[in-house]
Structure 1
Amino acid sequence: FAKAWVTGRVRREELERELSAQLFRARELGAKVDHLDGHQHLHLLPGVRSVVEGIAAREGLPLRWPDALPRASWLRAPGPAVKTTVLAVLARTAPRARPGVRRVSAGGVFEAGRLDESALLSVLDSLPAGDFELGCHPGEGAPHVPEDPAWTYGWEAELAALTSPRVKAKLVERGITLANYGELQRASAS
């Protein structure tokens, strides 16, 4: 997709139709769509961003906005360092959101899969005020990501961190209220 986008083969009208059709189909299948985002954050690409923001405004849905810079300790491997830098630049240099679009700052996107208890506590200590999405990939068993076998996620470590009494205590200490996008959407509508 990125190659097609760079070479100008992604047509805005087709993108709008496809994304609208996907949203319609998800709802038709019973999904309660409570926000928009893009696989691998493709919605940050100029041209794609404006289409996605148009749909978000039309549908009254918040938009995941991964603008939180990754911590330097997460930028050890060259591949992730390039990707995270490009994503952060795209998110932070994008024009203001159009009226009716609520971008929800997202972090942990770059750290996801490596958020053990210590790392999660550190992220919680650095959260800004306001609504914030923390991306993570908890689970059990050996991780396998078919689209990129080089990705490694510490699913079990993240599950343990997210259920840790120390993390729960940190949430209380910082006055952090856990919510999902649906709750944010209802709060902004009222």
Structure 2
Amino acid sequence: MRKATVKLIVTGDDFGYCPRRNQGIVDCFLAGAVSNVSLLVNGSAVLDAVQLARRYHIPIGLHANLSEGSPVCPVLKEKSTLLNNEGFFHGKMGIRTALASGLLNLSEVKEELRAQVDLFRELTGHLPHHMDGHQHVHVLPEIRHVFAQVLEDYGITYTRVPIEQDLPRCDWIDPPLMDFYLEVEKDSLNTVDVFRKHGIRWPDVYIGLSTMGKNMSVGTILSAIDNAIAAHLAKKDSTMSSSSFLCLGQEERTVTIELMTHPGYPSVPPTGGCGEGPDDFSQSWERLHELQTLTNAALQSHYESRNIQLCAFRDLDL
């Protein structure tokens, strides 16, 4: 098997959720443990996040949110199929139920996504370097088509496709959570052709479901990276003609990976969230656990020994 140069994007999600989340992500970035962030423009601390990104030159993309808190489009704040009876988004599972029941107006989905891109540009002075979905809403049926069209309209090239190579074998994941993750993967597999049709790209490898929260450790990250690289190269080699392989010989190839992370210091109510206050996960010790794991010296040493180069989405075309 040929050698590989690995470009690893370590994305800190939910930037803008609360000041303690922001500070944790920035601490990870300054420690060389996070190389990219994904911004919630409806987060309660979004202005603080944007200022920090500008101060420390942090590469930043958009974490499109249709499931938690309030919309940013003024027209949709008052009345919308995207909202529950309390006037907030339906929630992680609620949006899936509403979508399956045919209750969502997809024109409103598009309107809100466009409003979030416009607000991102207003706040940062540029378009997102990448755009993904909070709680993976961007790969849901029907929404995936709207999301892809919005990216194409704005010329946003990169997104996230959460398909993880070894997920079914990760027996440390709690069964209810595994059920949700497998649904996310199923939706993602059905999204691939849609995104390709619109000229959207994503890294070769995704990691993050099996290493989230309490399931993150130096071992699970390293194992996921090593296994994913081996599987990706084997798949590429198996599809390459023998003549092409001989021509390439031992030429080194590049594998791109995104590691989705959620580091931070635990939120302290009532501060945080996207209009409703912080959720249980944000208040838990699991955020701090991710921060401590990502900044572990053993992880950093492994990256160096394996020639794993941390980068951002904006660096992929350089």
On whether the aligned pair clears a TM of 0.5, the verdict is: yes
Equivalent of residue 40 in structure 1, options 115, 121, 135: 135
Change (3 A) 1:95 1:169: closer
Per the TM alignment, residue 79 of structure 1 is displaced from its structure 2 partner at its CA by 1.8
Change (3 A) 1:34 1:95: closer
Matched residue SS, 1:2: helix
2:298 is the counterpart of 1:166: yes
Please say if residues 138 and 155 of structure 1, whose CA atoms lie closer than 8 Å, have aligned partners that are also in contact: yes
Equivalent of residue 260 in structure 2, options 135, 139, 159: 135
User: Which structure has the highest strand share of the two?
Assistant: 2
Equivalent residue letter for 1:179: C
Per the TM alignment, residue 134 of structure 1 is displaced from its structure 2 partner at its CA by 0.3
Trace 1:1-190 onto structure 2 (pairs within 5 A): 1-30=95-124, 32=126, 33-61=128-156, 62-69=158-165, 70=167, 72-73=169-170, 76-96=173-193, 97-104=196-203, 105-113=205-213, 114-128=215-229, 130-140=255-265, 146-148=278-280, 154-184=286-316, 187=317
Per the TM alignment, residue 40 of structure 1 is displaced from its structure 2 partner at its CA by 0.7
RMSD: 2.7
* In 2: Cα distance, 1:161 partner to 1:86 partner: 27
Could you list the per-position Cα deviations for residues 169-189 of structure 1 after superposition, in whole angstroms to 9, with x for gaps in the alignment?
A: 2212332211112223xx1xx
Please say if residues 211 and 221 of structure 2, whose CA atoms lie closer than 8 Å, have aligned partners that are also in contact: no
TM-score by length of 2: 0.52
* In 2: Cα distance, 1:6 partner to 1:71 partner: 25
Change (3 A) 1:71 1:82: closer
Per the TM alignment, residue 131 of structure 1 is displaced from its structure 2 partner at its CA by 1.8
Could you list the per-position Cα deviations for residues 112-162 of structure 1 after superposition, in whole angstroms to 9, with x for gaps in the alignment?
A: 113122222222322325222101222345898833459955333322332
Name stretches of at least 5 consecutive residues in structure 2 with no aligned partner: 1-94, 233-254
Please say if residues 143 and 152 of structure 1, whose CA atoms lie closer than 8 Å, have aligned partners that are also in contact: no
Please say if residues 107 and 133 of structure 1, whose CA atoms lie closer than 8 Å, have aligned partners that are also in contact: yes
Please say if residues 120 and 161 of structure 1, whose CA atoms lie closer than 8 Å, have aligned partners that are also in contact: no
Could you list the per-position Cα deviations for residues 29-73 of structure 1 after superposition, in whole angstroms to 9, with x for gaps in the alignment?
A: 226522111111011112100111112222232111111142633
Change (3 A) 1:126 1:89: same
Equivalent residue letter for 2:297: P
* In 1: Cα distance, 2:298 partner to 2:268 partner: 25
Please say if residues 63 and 101 of structure 1, whose CA atoms lie closer than 8 Å, have aligned partners that are also in contact: yes
TM-score by length of 1: 0.82
* In 1: Cα distance, 2:299 partner to 2:142 partner: 39
Change (3 A) 1:3 1:102: same
* In 2: Cα distance, 1:5 partner to 1:37 partner: 19
* In 2: Cα distance, 1:148 partner to 1:17 partner: 29
Q: How many residue pairs get matched?
A: 186
Matched residue SS, 1:37: strand
Which one has more relative contact order, counting CA pairs under 8 Å at least 6 apart?
2
* In 2: Cα distance, 1:133 partner to 1:26 partner: 22
Change (3 A) 1:154 1:110: same
Identity %: 25
